[in-house]
Amino acid sequence: MAIGESTIEMYRLHDPDVQLMLQVRDDDAEAFEELMLRYQARVVTVLEHLVGQRDQAEDLAQDVFLRIYRARKSYVPGAKFSTWLFTIANNVASNARRNRARRKEVRWDASPMDSRATPAVEQLAVAASGQMPARRLDKEEMRDIVRVAISGLNERQRMAVLLSKFEDMSYEDIAATMVLTPQAVKSLLFRARENLRQILEPYLAEGTPPGTSESPNGSPKSEGDDV
């Protein structure tokens, strides 16, 4: 669909990152570096929590920036730059997930965030100690619990949550990034919140990590997230 001149002008005037991207379109290498510096950590963060592995997240982030550079000549500012960038990131992550599923490797969602750094749910249970269910978890353990919880969401819920929480995107921007309606994003985020609440309920109620007791109706992943 063609983008109106007024839309282009609006983003060109109001989004400094769009202005940088237009400079990249004109082969300004410094503008590209500046865009990278502004976004690389944000992209890696979202991708890391999306795909579950830091190394892969960095590889995918490089792929995202490469695609941006290659697409520079045809760039037309029809949305905020961040929306455009995270749309590419979402597509890159989806492609990677499909390729990985095709290769029949380890389950995407069940893979630990980082095998060196992140214990499995069972290990968390031990760490939280069965003898002291209400003991206060340290910062690292809490992070691991939240990682486990977010990895329990399906891919779309996870993406919507990450864009909302980390990128502070509006429903409309998330919808544009994920090619959904704003109403669908509201549904997605509500279900994601509910799933997180259910996974984290043991921790919220007693301070114990998820997985140490049966959740009311099991993990949200058991609803059919078979990726």
CA dist., res. 48 & res. 42, Å (int): 10
Q: Residues binding another protein: what is the number (CB under 8 A)?
A: 59
Q: Kindly state the helix (H) or strand (E) to which residue 51 belongs, with its residue range.
A: helix 29-51
Residue number, 7 or 91, with CB nearest to another protein: 91
Q: Which among 114, 188, 189, 194 is positioned nearest to 147, based on CA atoms?
A: 114
Given a contact cutoff of 8 angstroms between Cβ atoms, the answer to whether 59 and 180 are in contact is no
Q: How far is CA 142 from CA 119, 121, 129, 151, in A?
A: 12, 12, 14, 14
Given phi > 0 = left and psi -120 to 50 = alpha, else beta, which region is 144? alpha
| Least distance to another protein, CB of residue 135, Å | 17
x/- letters, 71..110, toward another protein (CB under 8 A): ----------------------------------------
x/- letters, 165..194, toward another protein (CB under 8 A): xx----------------xx-xxxxxx-xx
224 lines the binding site for another protein (CB under 8 A) = yes
226 lines the binding site for another protein (CB under 8 A) = yes
Q: Which of 19, 40, 91, 94 binds another protein (CB under 8 A)?
A: 40
User: Which amino acid type is present at position 78?
Assistant: G
Q: Which among 191, 187, 215 is positioned nearest to 201, based on CA atoms?
A: 215
Given a contact cutoff of 8 angstroms between Cβ atoms, the answer to whether 18 and 11 are in contact is yes
Which range binds another protein by CB under 8 A, 2-10, 35-43, 74-82, 121-129?
A: 35-43
| Least distance to another protein, CB of residue 139, Å | 7
* Footprint on this chain of another protein (rule: CB under 8 A): 32-33, 36-37, 40-41, 44-45, 48-49, 54, 57-58, 61-62, 65-66, 69-70, 139, 142-143, 145-147, 149-150, 154-157, 161, 164-166, 183-184, 186-191, 193-194, 196-197, 199-201, 203-204, 220-221, 223-227
